[in-house]
């Protein structure tokens, strides 16, 4: 099962190493891990995509919560949420192929951010599924280079109940 | 554990050096004693310590200092404090920190660090201590600004002693101890993510009590969490009101007086047969401050197969980690048991207790008394001579299991032993730390020749302070526990377990302690009495039957009731 878990952490040196080290030491698999600043300069948000069964995911939440600099843990499995993954992708596009690729980019609501003689650089964001669907579609043209941010996530408004907070047993 | 620390400091820290601030904060934390070893990067602090009321005990190796602080903490319930210099001094603490972490022992370790602007440059005696100790401490800090030092010290002690206790490392670059804050630093804790839950949920406590009341064959399985919480009285009240038999883990020994008819002594790999049978037959297993370690459960899929499982623990991450728990109760064992006793109803458990009584009669802990001295009789004799009141430290191995089985435990904080990490060499320094923390009490290190040899250099520390620790070295000339496994599971191919020993009595004398050697059964009682009555430290080697084994034994991977009972059973 794939879960998106976010952790609000104190913005101090070593926190990333502590979280990553805990995952490695306990044998949890991370699909992606994103760290970024929040509206509060003292706090950062980590968004972690983890795959595992219920028991593993319960341990992931609890072990994260146990780390001293982790202020709050949420598992988005139990709430309605929005997730986004941002991708930059350079696609092989000889001039005759450009219109087809641009059409695909438009269908996916991406943006062409740079055009060279035989390639185009495209920016695309969305759920992991959407991003991967786009990658599959443009693969036949030839992917020169690809970078993704990994998933960030946030619950929709008015969600009070159901989120697994740090305090939960 | 839940007591709020007193904020007594009215000190003004502006303009004062970091080393003085550190010292003032230690006084605020009521530190009476520190264990450690000096070195270049802690010189400014030791200069302050020169006129301090805090007693400093120099070990001969930093690992010894960490174990001394650990033994001090386990025996007194206070936070143990140790200090080492940067680099090798600090890395020598690592085993001690890992050991304390596995057993949830409150320690604060201070390490010197190279000057803050040299960090990362591979400077002389530099080691990345926060990186190295991250997985083996409850938390650690690198203090980069003197303004943070006071607050960090306070946070370190708070984290070490509250919630599920554990070791905390504070790494302090030397220039932080020589510089001074311009303005008054803020000392308030900044730990928004640290809120250990101590009060149990009443609904869960009621559910747990109802499950116990409804059970025909309940059992309490009690671990080191009851020691940390100081919950022995509450435990006894619950057990006696509900007529609940009690088995303890290695770290839980002493939380329940073994002379109580409800006591089943230790369970697990080398637990009593009756404790293991009772667990396997129980229909309601109540774990209190214990974590279903693999040395306790045997094959986990066959552990307590008929039992509804109640788990009381302060660490939510311990719950449902190894076994699926039916009724979790998160919180401090003392609070929870005190509340729970109200809901426990006296029930007639005579059939269940009679069945356990039969197992006790049929499979008592026992041993042979022919041939050379048997280790079990040494420990039983020590138990009787000290009226089961001594503080007993151990190393790790066969002697540790025999001590657990045969000493006869009466009260918490009496056994000082390395459970989770299984650290050979723990006994000697841990006993010394316990003796420093408990003047006037008899402190014995029941050790094996293998474990003792690893850290016996600390006998020098005991001799320096004329500390009356009695080191009983059960000498079989083997690394006995490994030899036992090779005998039972590797067809007696004794690989690398032959352990030639020095003359421990002579070594002791060379170190400034009294040395003794007992080889004959006829000398045993008088010899041990002489040892106990002597002033100062004594190393007493006892030549024991070399191929004695620890039984019962649940071979690794087998179900808990599937024991080897030994020749006599």
Residue B9 has pLDDT above 80, yes or no: no
Do residues B436 and B341 both lie within one domain?
no
Domain boundary among A62, A78, A94: A78
Q: Give the residue with greater pLDDT, B58 vs A1.
A: B58
Q: Write out pLDDT tens, residues B213-224.
A: 999 999 999 999
Quote the pLDDT of residue A158. 64
Helix B375-385 crosses helix B521-533 at what angle (to 10 degrees)?
A: 40
**Which residues does chain A have within 8 Å of residue B292's beta carbon, measured at their own beta carbons?**
none
Do residues A74 and A17 both lie within one domain?
yes
Do residues B162 and B53 both lie within one domain?
yes
> In what helix (H) or strand (E) does residue B248 lie, and over which residues does it extend?
strand B246-248
- Domain ranges, residue B125: 18-178
**Which residues does chain B have within 8 Å of residue A21's beta carbon, measured at their own beta carbons?**
134-135
Quote the pLDDT of residue A167. 40
> In what helix (H) or strand (E) does residue A143 lie, and over which residues does it extend?
strand A143-155
Share of chain B above pLDDT 70, in %: 98
CATH number at residue B24: 3.40.50.970
Do residues A145 and A95 both lie within one domain?
yes
Quote the pLDDT of residue B21. 98
Residue A162 has pLDDT above 60, yes or no: no
Do residues B152 and B123 both lie within one domain?
yes
**Which residues does chain B have within 8 Å of residue A25's beta carbon, measured at their own beta carbons?**
135
Average pLDDT over residues A106-124: 97
Q: Write out pLDDT tens, residues A13-58.
A: 899 999 999 999 999 999 999 999 999 999 999 999 999 999 999 9
Quote the pLDDT of residue A79. 82
B322 interfaces chain A, CB cutoff of 8 Å:
no
Helix B398-406 crosses helix B375-385 at what angle (to 10 degrees)?
A: 40
Q: pTM surpassing 0.90?
A: yes
Do residues B145 and B66 both lie within one domain?
yes
Q: Where are the alpha helices (DSSP H) in A36-127?
A: 54-66, 98-107
Share of chain B above pLDDT 90, in %: 97
Q: Write out pLDDT tens, residues B298-353.
A: 999 999 999 999 999 999 999 999 999 999 999 999 999 999 999 999 999 999 99
Do residues B151 and B226 both lie within one domain?
no
User: What mean pLDDT, rounded, does chain A reach?
Assistant: 91
- Look at residue A159 and tell me if it is in a domain: no
Whose CA is closest to B197, among B338, B330, B317?
B330
Number of domains within chain B: 3
Quote the pLDDT of residue A165. 46
Do residues B92 and B233 both lie within one domain?
no
**Which residues does chain A have within 8 Å of residue B142's beta carbon, measured at their own beta carbons?**
13-14
Interatomic CA distance for residues B225 and B204, integer angstroms: 18
Do residues B171 and B277 both lie within one domain?
no
Average pLDDT over residues B510-536: 98
Residue A164 has pLDDT above 70, yes or no: no
Helix B232-242 crosses helix B333-343 at what angle (to 10 degrees)?
A: 20
- Domain ranges, residue A55: 2-78
**Which residues does chain B have within 8 Å of residue A70's beta carbon, measured at their own beta carbons?**
193
Is residue B497 within 8 Å of B478, Cβ to Cβ? yes
> In what helix (H) or strand (E) does residue B449 lie, and over which residues does it extend?
helix B449-455
Distances (CA, A) of B418 to A131, B115, B401, B427, B437: 52, 35, 11, 8, 18
Please give the ipTM for the structure prediction: 0.89
Residue B155 has φ and ψ, to the nearest 5°, of: -65, -40
- Look at residue B516 and tell me if it is in a domain: yes
- Look at residue B185 and tell me if it is in a domain: no
Q: Write out pLDDT tens, residues B74-105.
A: 999 999 999 999 999 999 999 999 999 999 99
Quote the pLDDT of residue B4. 45
pLDDT category, B8, cuts 50, 70, 90? low
Do residues B81 and B125 both lie within one domain?
yes
- Look at residue B193 and tell me if it is in a domain: no
Do residues A7 and A53 both lie within one domain?
yes
Of the residues B119, B165, B193, the best mutation for testing chain A's interface (the one with the most A CB atoms within 10 Å of its CB) is: B193
Interatomic CA distance for residues B401 and B481, integer angstroms: 10
Determine how β-strand A70-75 pairs with β-strand A2-10. antiparallel
Average pLDDT over residues B141-148: 97
Q: Which distant-in-sequence residues (6+ apart) come within 8 Å of A2 by Cβ?
A: A31, A49, A50, A51
Average pLDDT over residues B389-417: 98
Residue B105 has φ and ψ, to the nearest 5°, of: -105, 130
Quote the pLDDT of residue B398. 98
Average pLDDT over residues A117-125: 97
Domain boundary among A78, A107, A132: A78
Residue B412 has φ and ψ, to the nearest 5°, of: -65, 160
Residue B1 has pLDDT above 50, yes or no: no
B120 interfaces chain A, CB cutoff of 8 Å:
no
Is residue B228 within 8 Å of B1, Cβ to Cβ? yes
**Which residues does chain B have within 8 Å of residue A166's beta carbon, measured at their own beta carbons?**
193, 195
Do residues A103 and A68 both lie within one domain?
no
- Look at residue B195 and tell me if it is in a domain: no
Write the DSSP symbol of residue B478.
B
Torsion, CA A79, CA A80, CA A81, CA A82, rounded to 10: 160
Quote the pLDDT of residue B566. 86
- Look at residue A168 and tell me if it is in a domain: no
Interatomic CA distance for residues A75 and B119, integer angstroms: 37
Average pLDDT over residues B257-277: 98
Instruction: Please tell me the distance in Å from B480's CA to the nearest CA on chain A.
Output: 31
B247: helix, strand or coil: strand
Instruction: Please tell me the distance in Å from B173's CA to the nearest CA on chain A.
Output: 15
Average pLDDT over residues B135-148: 97
Do residues B335 and B238 both lie within one domain?
yes
Residue of A nearest to B164 (CA): A66
- Look at residue A167 and tell me if it is in a domain: no
Q: Write out pLDDT tens, residues B223-239.
A: 999 999 999 999 999 99
Do residues A26 and A72 both lie within one domain?
yes
Quote the pLDDT of residue A80. 87
Residue B432 has φ and ψ, to the nearest 5°, of: -65, -45
Is residue B277 within 8 Å of B536, Cβ to Cβ? no
Average pLDDT over residues B133-159: 98
Interatomic CA distance for residues B407 and A21, integer angstroms: 41
Average pLDDT over residues B157-183: 98
User: What mean pLDDT, rounded, does chain B reach?
Assistant: 96
Do residues A10 and A27 both lie within one domain?
yes
Residue B164 has pLDDT above 50, yes or no: yes
- Look at residue B188 and tell me if it is in a domain: no
Residue of B nearest to A18 (CA): B134
Interatomic CA distance for residues B390 and B300, integer angstroms: 35
Number of domains within chain A: 2
Do residues A56 and A87 both lie within one domain?
no
pLDDT category, B295, cuts 50, 70, 90? very high
Is residue A118 within 8 Å of A140, Cβ to Cβ? no
pLDDT category, B10, cuts 50, 70, 90? low
Whose CA is closest to B229, among B104, B118, B122, B90?
B104
Q: Which distant-in-sequence residues (6+ apart) come within 8 Å of B488 by Cβ?
A: B549, B553, B555, B564
Is residue B394 within 8 Å of B423, Cβ to Cβ? no
Closest Cβ opposite residue B193 in set A10, A17, A59: A10
C-alpha distance across the termini of chain A, in Å: 21
Whose CA is closest to B209, among B352, B347, B90, B102?
B347
Average pLDDT over residues B45-69: 98
Do residues B329 and B476 both lie within one domain?
no
- Look at residue A160 and tell me if it is in a domain: no
Interatomic CA distance for residues B20 and B132, integer angstroms: 27
* B316–A169 CB contact, under 8 Å: yes
Do residues A116 and A133 both lie within one domain?
yes
Average pLDDT over residues A115-126: 97
- Look at residue B239 and tell me if it is in a domain: yes
- Look at residue B406 and tell me if it is in a domain: yes
Of the residues B145, B173, B192, B199, the best mutation for testing chain A's interface (the one with the most A CB atoms within 10 Å of its CB) is: B192
- Look at residue B67 and tell me if it is in a domain: yes
Q: Write out pLDDT tens, residues B103-115.
A: 999 999 999 999 9
Do residues A27 and A60 both lie within one domain?
yes
Write the DSSP symbol of residue A161.
S
Do residues B285 and B386 both lie within one domain?
no
Instruction: Please tell me the distance in Å from B190's CA to the nearest CA on chain A.
Output: 10
Q: Give the residue with greater pLDDT, A76 vs B543.
A: B543
């Amino acid at each position: 099962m794939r879960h998106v878990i976010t952790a609000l952490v104190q913005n101090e040196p070593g926190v990333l190493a502590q979280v990553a080290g805990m995952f490695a030491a306990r044998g949890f698999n991370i699909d992606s891990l994103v760290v970024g600043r929040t509206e509060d300069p003292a706090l950062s948000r980590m968004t972690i995509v983890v795959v595992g069964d219920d028991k593993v995911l319960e341990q992931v939440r609890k072990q994260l919560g146990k780390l001293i600099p982790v202020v709050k843990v949420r598992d988005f499995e139990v709430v309605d949420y929005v997730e986004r993954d941002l991708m930059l992708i350079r696609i092989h596009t000889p001039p005759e192929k450009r219109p087809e690729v641009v059409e695909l980019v438009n269908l996916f609501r991406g943006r062409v951010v740079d055009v060279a003689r035989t390639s185009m650089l495209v920016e695309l964001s969305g759920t992991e599924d959407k991003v991967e669907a786009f990658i599959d579609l443009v693969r036949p043209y030839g992917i020169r280079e690809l970078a993704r941010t990994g998933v960030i996530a946030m619950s929709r408004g008015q969600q009070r109940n159901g989120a697994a907070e740090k305090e939960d047993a | 554990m839940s007591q709020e620390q007193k904020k007594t400091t009215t000190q003004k820290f502006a303009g004062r050096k970091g080393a003085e601030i550190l010292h003032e904060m230690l006084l605020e934390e009521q530190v009476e004693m520190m264990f450690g070893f000096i070195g270049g990067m802690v010189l400014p602090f030791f200069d302050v310590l020169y006129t301090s009321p805090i007693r400093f005990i120099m070990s001969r190796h930093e690992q010894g200092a960490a174990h001394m602080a650990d033994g001090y903490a386990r025996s007194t319930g206070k936070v143990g404090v140790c200090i080492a210099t940067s680099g090798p001094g600090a890395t020598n603490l690592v085993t001690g920190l890992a050991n304390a972490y596995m057993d949830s022992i409150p320690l604060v370790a201070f390490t010197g660090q190279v000057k803050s602007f040299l960090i990362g440059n591979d400077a002389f005696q530099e080691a990345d201590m926060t990186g190295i100790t991250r997985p083996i401490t409850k938390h650690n800090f690198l203090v980069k600004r003197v303004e943070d030092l006071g607050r960090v010290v306070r946070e370190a002690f708070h984290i070490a002693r509250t919630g599920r206790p554990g070791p905390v490392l504070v790494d302090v670059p030397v220039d932080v101890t020589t510089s001074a804050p311009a303005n008054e630093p803020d000392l308030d804790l900044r730990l928004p993510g640290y809120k250990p839950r101590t009060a149990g949920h009443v609904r869960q406590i009621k559910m747990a009590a109802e499950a116990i009341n409804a059970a025909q064959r309940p059992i309490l399985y009690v671990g080191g969490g009851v020691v940390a919480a100081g919950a022995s009285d509450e435990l006894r009240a619950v057990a006696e009101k509900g007529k609940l038999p009690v088995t303890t883990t290695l770290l839980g020994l002493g939380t329940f007086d073994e002379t109580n008819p409800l006591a089943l002594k230790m369970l697990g790999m080398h637990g009593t047969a009756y404790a293991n049978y009772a667990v396997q037959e129980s229909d309601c297993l109540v774990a209190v401050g214990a974590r279903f370690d693999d040395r306790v459960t045997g094959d986990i899929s066959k552990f307590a197969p008929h039992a509804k499982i109640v788990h009381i623990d302060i660490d939510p991450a311990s719950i449902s980690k190894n076994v699926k728990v039916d009724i979790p109760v998160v919180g401090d064992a003392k609070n929870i048991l005190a509340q729970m006793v109200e809901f426990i109803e006296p029930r007639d458990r005579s059939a269940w207790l009679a069945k356990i009584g039969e197992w006790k009669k049929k499979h008592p802990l026992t041993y042979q008394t022919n041939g050379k001295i048997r280790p079990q009789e040494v420990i039983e004799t020590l138990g009787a001579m000290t009226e089961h009141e001594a503080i007993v430290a151990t190393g790790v191995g066969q002697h540790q299991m025999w001590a657990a089985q045969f000493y006869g435990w009466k009260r918490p904080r009496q056994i000082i032993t390395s459970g989770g990490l299984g650290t050979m060499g723990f006994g000697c320094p841990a006993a010394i730390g316990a003796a420093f923390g408990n003047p006037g009490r008899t402190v014995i290190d029941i050790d094996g020749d293998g474990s003792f040899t690893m850290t016996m250099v600390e006998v020098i520390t005991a001799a320096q302070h004329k500390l009356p620790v009695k080191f009983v070295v059960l000498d079989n000339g083997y690394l006995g526990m490994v030899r036992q496994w090779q005998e039972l599971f590797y067809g007696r191919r004794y690989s690398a377990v032959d352990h030639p020993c020095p003359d421990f009595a002579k070594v002791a004398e060379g170190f400034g302690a009294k040395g003794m050697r007992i080889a004959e059964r006829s000398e045993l009682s008088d010899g041990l009495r002489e040892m106990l009555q002597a002033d100062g430290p004594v190393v007493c080697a006892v030549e024991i039957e070399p191929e004695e084994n620890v039984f019962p034994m649940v071979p690794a991977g087998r179900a808990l009731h599937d024991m080897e009972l030994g020749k006599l059973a």
